[in-house]
Structure 1
Amino acid sequence: MLMASGANYGFRSTIPHMLGVGIGFVVMVALVGIGLVRVFDAWPVAHHILTWVSVAYLLWLAWRIAHSAAPGSADGTGRPMRFIEAAAFQWVNPKAWTMALNAITLYAPERNLTSVLLVAAIFGAINLPSVSSWTLMGQQMRRVLSNPRRLQLFNWTMALLLVGSLAPVLMQ
């Protein structure tokens, strides 16, 4: 998603999206570590509901990516994800949930506040360079994607990859 945003809108316009992903995920890891994981222990159906809501949202998002118009075109109503949208997206992102639950289970099994905050801080420190690199790769592709046909092919490819990333979730 960040590569597609970098390609379609550039690095600077994607900064709120990148920060939302990073901060939203750090908050998620911290909240999972201090007790949110207990919700899934108490109500296993909550995990199934979250899975299907996540799948539906990601399918809708893939559709939006596939059908996004070139920025500045007559029908180019698209825009990069806003900070709050990207932060909230983490809560319906099955990959984020998997990573947060596994990180806390593996690296802070005692779930004391110091360990949980350390795990969240490490993920935050790693996250910003990671999301920046995806966005930069997308921005570098802008020259190649200046042709509307190539941009459309790129957007469809990114959408299909997003749909394909749901395979592990659906196979559980």
Structure 2
Amino acid sequence: MTAQLLLAFVLFAFATAGTPGPNNMMLLASGANFGLRRTAPQILGISVGLAVMVVAMGLGLSGVFKAWPVLHDVLKWVGGAYMLWLAWKIGTATGISDKAVGAKPMTFLQAAAFQWVNPKAWAMALTAATTYTPEGSTIGVFFVAGTFMLVGAPCSAAWAGFGQGLRRFLDRPVVLRMFNVTMAVLLVASLYPLVVETRPAAVAKEAPRELASDLPPTPRWASHG
């Protein structure tokens, strides 16, 4: 990978991981409800989950989606339904406490598994694997996945940290409830690009594999991490 292509990929990873989207809305809500320390496994799970997806895509899984395009639609609607359920869970959360009864943040495995039903994460992983990975290079696949993880983890931590910073303003139940409902609405709103956009693989197919100097246009559904 050339230095220019690496810079383009780092900018892509930062843009997709650092801007609002399903993962970051959940991190913000988790940081506010549980604090940064208890949200750390979720941060790590998101980063590792995305990296594993990039590896899977780069080593051949993207070919399955090319062979059966209908999988994009199935994934979009199944993932969308799951995110609606998560939005309901966030919207009905009731208290800020590290020891609140029944209140638990996402675990590492839950956050990593969520990436596999998150259509947005699939789109990000597919674009990273097909646009920025040298063709036929296994080492290149792992390098891109590792870089994605290194860039994404601090972005995720920043969202959770911002949520923790809001905790002192959310000590009243009515304020917390309004915050959680707002987070739930924003999570649902993040589904809009997934509904209006179709076939993320088309973007990856059209994107040039070798880029000399310009960063390729980021798909609209890939601008929210």
Q: After TM superposition, is the score higher than 0.5? A: yes
Question: Which residue, 94, 98, 103 being the options, matches 1:78?
Answer: 103
Structure 1 residue matching 2:170: 3-state secondary structure: helix
Matched, 1:30 2:55: yes
Structure 2 residue matching 1:143: 3-state secondary structure: helix
> 8 Å contact 1:62–1:160 — kept in the other structure?
yes
In structure 2, C-alpha distance between the alignment counterparts of 1:124 and 1:61, rounded to whole Å: 24
Matched, 1:133 2:134: no
Q: Which runs of 5+ in 1 are unaligned?
A: none
Aligned to 1:44: 69
Question: Which residue, 171, 174, 187 being the options, matches 1:146?
Answer: 171
Q: Which runs of 5+ in 2 are unaligned?
A: 1-25, 198-225
In structure 2, C-alpha distance between the alignment counterparts of 1:17 and 1:87, rounded to whole Å: 8
Aligned to 2:129: 104
Structure 2 residue matching 1:68: 3-state secondary structure: coil
Structure 2 residue matching 1:161: 3-state secondary structure: helix
Aligned to 1:90: 115
State the 1:68 CA deviation: 1.0
In structure 2, C-alpha distance between the alignment counterparts of 1:94 and 1:100, rounded to whole Å: 10
Matched, 1:157 2:182: yes
In structure 1, C-alpha distance between the alignment counterparts of 2:193 and 2:83, rounded to whole Å: 14
Measured against aligned partners, the alpha-carbon deviations of 1:45-77 in whole angstroms (never above 9, x if no partner) come to: 11111111100000110011001111459x852
Q: Report which of the two has the higher share of helix.
A: 1
Counterpart residue type for residue 70 of structure 1: G
In structure 2, C-alpha distance between the alignment counterparts of 1:111 and 1:60, rounded to whole Å: 39
Question: Which residue, 4, 9, 12 being the options, matches 2:37?
Answer: 12
In structure 2, C-alpha distance between the alignment counterparts of 1:48 and 1:99, rounded to whole Å: 16
State the 1:78 CA deviation: 2.4
In structure 2, C-alpha distance between the alignment counterparts of 1:113 and 1:88, rounded to whole Å: 23
Identity %: 50
Number of residue pairs matched by the alignment: 171
In structure 2, C-alpha distance between the alignment counterparts of 1:53 and 1:39, rounded to whole Å: 18
> 8 Å contact 2:55–2:145 — kept in the other structure?
yes
Counterpart residue type for residue 90 of structure 2: I
Aligned to 2:145: 120
In structure 2, C-alpha distance between the alignment counterparts of 1:144 and 1:107, rounded to whole Å: 42
